[in-house]
C-alpha cells in the first residue's frame, strides 16, 4: 500500500480524491457510475455498467478494497450505453474528463444518480452552459470561492510580509 502526503501533492492523486468526493458532498450516488472491480471479474462488471468509469485493479490482499481511491489500476475504461468506448485510459481524472466530454458532446443525459456532480462539473468547473444553478450546487460553489479567496488573501499577505522583511534585510 502506498501512502500519499499532501505536503508535496501528487496532482493525479489529489484530483482523484476530489472527483471521488464530489458526489458525496453533493448527495449523489457514485456507485453506479464509478465502478471498481478485480481483474478476474471484468466481464461481470462490464455487464453491470450502462454509463460510467470502470477501474480494474489486481486482486491483491494489501489493497484496501474496491471503495478505495486506486492510483495505479490495471486499466480504466469508459462505458457508454453498455459498451466500452475507451479502454486503457491513463488515470481516473482523465477518464472522468473524457466521459463528461463524451456525454456533453453527444447530448446524452447525465445519469440521474450523478446529475448534480456532472452539472457542477459543467457549470462551475468548466463554465459551460446554463449559469443558473440549483441551490445545492450554488452553496458549494460559494463555499469553494470563499475558501479560495481566504487562501489567496492569506498567500498575498504572506507574500507582502516576506517581501517587506527581505527589503528590510537589504537596508541593514
- Give the pLDDT of residue 63: 57
Residues of the chain with pLDDT under 70: 1-9, 60-70, 150-172
- Give the pLDDT of residue 105: 92
With beta carbons less than 8 A apart as the criterion, state whether 115 and 27 touch.
no
- Give the pLDDT of residue 152: 61
- Give the pLDDT of residue 65: 60
Rg (CA), the chain: 20
What are the residue ranges of helices labelled H in 27-91? 42-48
Look up the pTM and report it: 0.76
- Give the pLDDT of residue 39: 81
Cell 472522468 belongs to: 96
Say how far apart CA 76 and CA 87 lie, in whole Å: 6
Q: How many of the other CB atoms lie within 10 Å of CB of 117?
A: 26
Say how far apart CA 94 and CA 76 lie, in whole Å: 10
Amino acid at each position: 500500500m502506498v501512502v500519499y502526503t499532501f505536503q508535496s501533492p501528487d496532482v493525479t492523486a489529489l484530483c482523484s480524491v476530489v472527483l471521488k468526493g464530489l458526489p458525496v458532498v453533493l448527495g449523489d450516488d457514485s456507485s453506479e457510475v464509478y465502478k471498481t472491480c478485480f481483474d478476474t471479474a471484468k466481464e461481470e462488471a462490464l455487464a453491470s455498467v450502462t454509463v460510467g468509469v470502470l477501474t480494474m485493479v489486481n486482486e491483491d490482499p494489501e489493497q484496501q478494497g474496491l471503495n478505495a481511491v486506486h492510483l495505479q489500476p490495471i486499466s480504466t475504461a469508459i462505458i457508454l450505453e453498455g459498451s466500452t468506448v475507451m479502454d486503457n485510459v491513463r488515470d481516473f481524472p482523465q477518464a472522468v474528463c473524457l466521459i463528461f466530454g463524451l456525454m456533453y458532446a453527444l447530448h446524452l443525459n447525465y445519469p440521474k444518480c450523478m446529475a448534480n456532480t456532472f452539472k457542477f462539473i459543467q457549470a462551475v468547473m468548466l463554465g459551460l452552459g446554463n449559469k443558473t444553478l440549483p441551490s445545492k450546487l450554488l452553496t458549494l460553489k460559494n463555499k469553494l470561492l470563499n475558501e479560495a479567496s481566504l487562501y489567496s488573501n492569506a498567500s498575498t499577505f504572506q507574500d507582502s510580509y516576506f517581501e517587506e522583511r527581505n527589503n528590510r534585510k537589504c537596508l541593514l
